[in-house]
């Protein structure tokens, strides 16, 4: 058995921001199965030539029923960390593993011993507490499993912890101190896809099947299929998005794929809840986003003696108007909107405010 490691190194932390998703670093390249597979085929052929007639070799790159981390540790490539992944003293955590099974007799290398010591950073870093104890992982809670391997709905109780991660998670790997030795792999560098690091979430929701395949052809992200990636994008928007994402989520809520529609509805509810809770102290800028149509003015913290005067003046100047008022004792807010400037989807947000117990509605 020949065990091999290929570094993909530090690609930098994506500056995702509020409107973008985060993709695991290994997936920010062309599909490693293809890239490594071509090299492994050539290497396996070389091993066969080295062994002479009758030598047989088979290569694998995350494609066969092999305990590759255990084999890599026994071959001396690295040791299995408390996060259950392989750590190389020379390459850190950012490595792909591959194997060649051969009939050629080769002298074995010495196995690597564990070098975690008392460090437990990876356990503390896991957002979902999937690392239940050193060297023990509950895969059902792991974000990499939830966003890639899981084909159905993501458990509601785990969605908030996913944040804006849409394909995999690097948190337990990134905090490992052995990464100070990580190197950028020359082989994978040529296949980097930097545009995959932080894709715009709303843009992802606009992809149909053909568009999804065109965008992610030849990358690991094709594995989730459209339904899985858009499911993940909805969760990310539900966790980090603002009201500007609602029109796209309303459309996703009508997607013929039930998995996408359900997660879009959840995301809408999360964003609306945040918007409603902040409605009594909205700024002019936030209200422009919230209403999404022709917002004419916001008058905040007015005195009770001025309320009737302000409302009368705006009635006289512009009509029709939707006036939403928020009053707390003798102070409050007025939102004045040109009602016919809103789309049906945007009216939903206006209506949410208009029917909230802290607001009263008047249409002129």
For residue 171 the two structure tokens come to: 């948190």
Please identify which of the residues 62, 138, 242, 356 carries the catalytic annotation.
62
* Catalytic annotation present for 255: no
- Answer yes or no: are the C-beta atoms of 246 and 271 closer than 8 Å: yes
Report d(CA 260, CA 243) in Å as an integer: 19
Report d(CA 66, CA 262) in Å as an integer: 36
The conformation of residue 146, written as its DSSP 8-state character, comes to I
- Which residue matches tokens 């409603």? 276
User: Is the sign of the CA dihedral 265, 197, 34, 176 positive or negative?
Assistant: negative
Per DSSP, the residues of 161-185 read HHTTEEE---HHHHT-GGGGG----
Task: Find, among 67, 65, 52, the residue nearest to 102 by Cα.
Answer: 52
Residues with catalytic annotation? 62
């Amino acid at each position: 058995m020949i065990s091999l490691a290929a570094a993909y190194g530090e690609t930098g932390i994506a500056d995702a921001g509020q409107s973008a998703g985060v993709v695991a670093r290994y997936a920010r390249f062309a599909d490693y199965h293809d890239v490594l597979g071509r090299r492994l085929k050539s290497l396996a052929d070389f091993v066969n030539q080295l062994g002479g007639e009758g030598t047989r070799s088979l290569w694998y790159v995350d494609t066969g029923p092999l305990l590759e981390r255990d084999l890599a540790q026994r071959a001396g490539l690295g040791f299995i960390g408390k996060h259950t992944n392989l750590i190389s003293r020379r390459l850190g955590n950012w490595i792909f593993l591959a194997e060649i099974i051969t009939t050629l007799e080769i002298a074995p290398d010495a196995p690597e011993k564990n070098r975690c010591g008392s460090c437990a950073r990876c356990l503390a870093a896991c957002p979902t507490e999937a690392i239940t104890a050193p060297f023990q992982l509950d895969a059902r809670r792991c974000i990499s499993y939830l966003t890639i391997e899981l084909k159905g709905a993501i458990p509601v109780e785990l969605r908030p912890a996913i944040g804006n991660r849409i394909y995999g998670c690097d948190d337990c790997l990134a905090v490992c101190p052995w990464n100070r030795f990580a190197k950028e792999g020359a082989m994978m560098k040529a296949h980097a896809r930097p545009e995959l690091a932080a894709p715009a979430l709303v843009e992802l929701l606009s992809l149909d099947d053909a568009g999804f395949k065109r965008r992610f052809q030849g990358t690991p992200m094709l594995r989730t299929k459209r339904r899985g990636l858009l499911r993940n994008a909805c969760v990310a928007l539900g966790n980090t998005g603002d009201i500007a994402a609602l029109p796209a989520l309303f459309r996703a809520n009508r997607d013929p794929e039930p998995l996408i529609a359900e997660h879009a509805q959840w995301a809408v509810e999360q964003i609306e809840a945040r918007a409603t809770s902040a409605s009594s102290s909205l700024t002019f800028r936030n209200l422009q986003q919230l209403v999404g149509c022709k917002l004419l003015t916001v008058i905040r913290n007015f005195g009770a003696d001025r309320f009737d005067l302000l409302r009368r003046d705006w009635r006289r100047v512009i009509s029709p108007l939707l006036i939403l008022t928020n009053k707390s004792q003798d102070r409050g807010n007025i939102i004045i909107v040109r009602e016919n400037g809103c789309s049906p989807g945007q009216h939903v947000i206006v209506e949410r405010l208009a029917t909230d117990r802290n607001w009263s509605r008047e249409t002129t």
